[in-house]
């Protein structure tokens, strides 16, 4: 047995580092890994930390304590199972393992080779960019299209960067001044704080009254999805990149009528809609997405530094999650450095 540590949520608004014993015996394609860095997903993990996940329509069995959390883990391979042929001891990989110092991961499910020269605390953000790229993949974006991204957290910021890389004209919208400034530092050319005027007014002014060809809701708030339809242009698209969780009561007929009359397409943009491995019969896969994104991070085309606000020891996990929950102007990209244990 190996003495290991993992982050858990014993109750709402409480995170703690828990010691546990990990059986290092491996089967099949399992690999034993030692963590270098892991990145917090502010949306998904934040919902579990705060208790918001209990309102998610498909999370009927959600309950505390949560033994593990997290899914962006950069580590080094310590041992491989009997059926592993594409990894060896010493390799660095990105996986969907939780925040833990040591873990057993099924490499047959997914892993991404990370070169030795890659800066781990930046490379681990490949995981969050992997969520964001789904919006680009699911859209019909063409060079010169107008794209309005609502919400400039990690996922929204990466989506805005990726749409710009695809040749679109992008506007990012957020009410947090710090996130607008970080977006500017990442090269997003148009950023707007809709406080004091509606997002609809800002987008219509920018597009000469037409609305954006593509609207991306990157937070997961139903009220903002409803509003987003109002500034999506005729025959445009609105992509649901954030996961709606909180219950919301509203009159939806005006929205549905606009979608119907204006020929607007509403598209779900969950990354798991694509297969993980590369397959001959599909153009897009999660593996290929991650390979591309890591390359862009390493060569500097995808900006990371303005988003990396905190590198913390996992011992400070309560501070990390509470900061992301209550101090959104200060906390954005939070990485655990497992060498600091």
pLDDT tens string for the chain (341 positions)? 999 999 999 999 999 999 999 999 999 999 999 999 999 999 999 999 999 998 888 877 899 999 999 999 999 999 999 999 999 999 999 999 999 999 999 999 999 999 999 999 999 999 999 999 999 999 999 999 999 999 999 999 999 999 999 999 999 999 999 999 999 999 999 999 999 889 999 999 999 999 999 999 999 999 999 999 999 999 999 999 999 999 899 999 999 999 999 999 999 999 999 999 999 888 999 999 999 999 999 999 999 999 999 999 999 999 999 999 999 999 999 999 999 99
Q: What does each C-alpha distance from 101 to 20, 58, 74 come to in angstroms?
A: 10, 30, 11
Question: Rounded to whole angstroms, how far apart are CA atoms 99 and 17?
Answer: 9
- Topology of the domain covering 129-273: Rossmann fold (3.40.50)
Quick one: pLDDT at residue 197?
87
Least Cα distance to 171 among 197, 141, 194, 192 occurs for 192
- Cβ 127 vs Cβ 293: under 8 Å: no
Q: Which two tokens stand for residue 200?
A: 């609809």
Domain locations in the chain? Answer: 2-125+304-340, 129-273
Least Cα distance to 328 among 121, 224, 177 occurs for 177
Report which DSSP code applies to 213. Answer: E
Give the angle 37-41-43 at the CA atoms, nearest 5°.
170
User: What backbone phi and psi angles, to 5 degrees, belong to 317?
Assistant: -65, -35
Q: Could you read off the pLDDT of 193-215 as tens digits, one per residue?
A: 999 889 999 999 999 999 999 99
- Collapsing DSSP to helix, strand or coil, 32 comes out as strand
Quick one: pLDDT at residue 60?
77
DSSP string over 239-267:
EE-S---S------HHHHHHHHHHT-EEE
251: Cβ–Cβ under 8 A, 6 or more apart, which residues?
Answer: none
Residue 74 forms beta bridges with which residues?
37, 94
Sign of CA dihedral 26, 28, 30, 31: positive
CATH number given to 2-125+304-340: 3.90.180.10
Q: Return the percentage of the chain with pLDDT > 90, whole number.
A: 95
- Cβ 224 vs Cβ 150: under 8 Å: yes
Cα 320 to chain center, whole Å? 17
Sign of CA dihedral 195, 199, 205, 206: positive
Q: State the virtual CA torsion across 98, 267, 303, 277 in degrees, nearest 10.
A: 50
Report which DSSP code applies to 302. Answer: S
Count Cα neighbours of 226 within 13 Å in the Cβ-side half-sphere: 11
Question: Rounded to whole angstroms, how far apart are CA atoms 19 and 2?
Answer: 10
Quick one: pLDDT at residue 55?
87
Q: Which two tokens stand for residue 35?
A: 């963590």
E strand or H helix that includes residue 3: strand 2-11
Least Cα distance to 271 among 135, 93, 67 occurs for 135
Report which DSSP code applies to 316. Answer: G
């Amino acid at each position: 047995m190996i003495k290991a540590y993992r982050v858990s949520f014993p109750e709402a608004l409480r995170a703690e580092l828990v010691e546990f014993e990990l059986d290092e015996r491996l089967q099949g394609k399992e690999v034993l890994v030692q963590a270098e860095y892991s990145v917090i997903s502010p949306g998904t993990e934040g919902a579990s930390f705060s208790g918001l996940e209990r309102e998610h329509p498909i999370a009927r069995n959600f309950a505390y304590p949560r033994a593990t959390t997290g899914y962006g883990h950069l580590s080094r391979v310590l041992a491989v199972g009997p059926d592993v042929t594409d990894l060896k001891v010493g390799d660095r990989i990105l996986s969907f393992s939780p925040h833990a110092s040591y873990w057993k991961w099924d490499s047959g499910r997914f892993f991404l080779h990370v070169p030795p020269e890659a800066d781990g605390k930046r490379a681990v953000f490949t995981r969050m960019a992997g969520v964001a790229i789904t919006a680009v993949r699911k859209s019909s974006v063409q060079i010169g299209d107008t794209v309005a991204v609502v919400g400039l957290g990690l996922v929204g910021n990466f989506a805005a960067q990726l749409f710009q890389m695809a040749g679109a004209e992008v506007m990012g919208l957020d009410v947090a001044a710090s996130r607008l400034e970080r977006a500017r530092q990442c090269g997003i050319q148009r950023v707007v704080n809709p406080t004091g005027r509606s997002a609809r007014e800002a987008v219509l002014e920018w597009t000469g009254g037409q609305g954006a060809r593509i609207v991306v809701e990157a937070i997961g708030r139903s009220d903002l999805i409803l509003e987003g339809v109002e500034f999506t242009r005729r025959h445009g698209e609105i992509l649901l990149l954030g996961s709606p969780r909180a219950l919301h009561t509203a009159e939806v007929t005006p929205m549905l009528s606009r979608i119907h009359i204006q020929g607007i397409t509403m598209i779900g943009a969950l990354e798991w809609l694509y297969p993980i491995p590369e397959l001959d019969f599909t153009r897009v896969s999660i593996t290929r997405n991650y390979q591309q994104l890591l390359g862009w991070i390493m060569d500097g085309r995808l900006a990371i530094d303005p988003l990396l606000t905190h590198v913390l020891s996992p011992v400070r996990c309560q501070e990390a999650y509470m900061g992301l929950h209550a101090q959104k102007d200060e906390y954005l990209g939070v990485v655990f450095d497992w060498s600091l244990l």
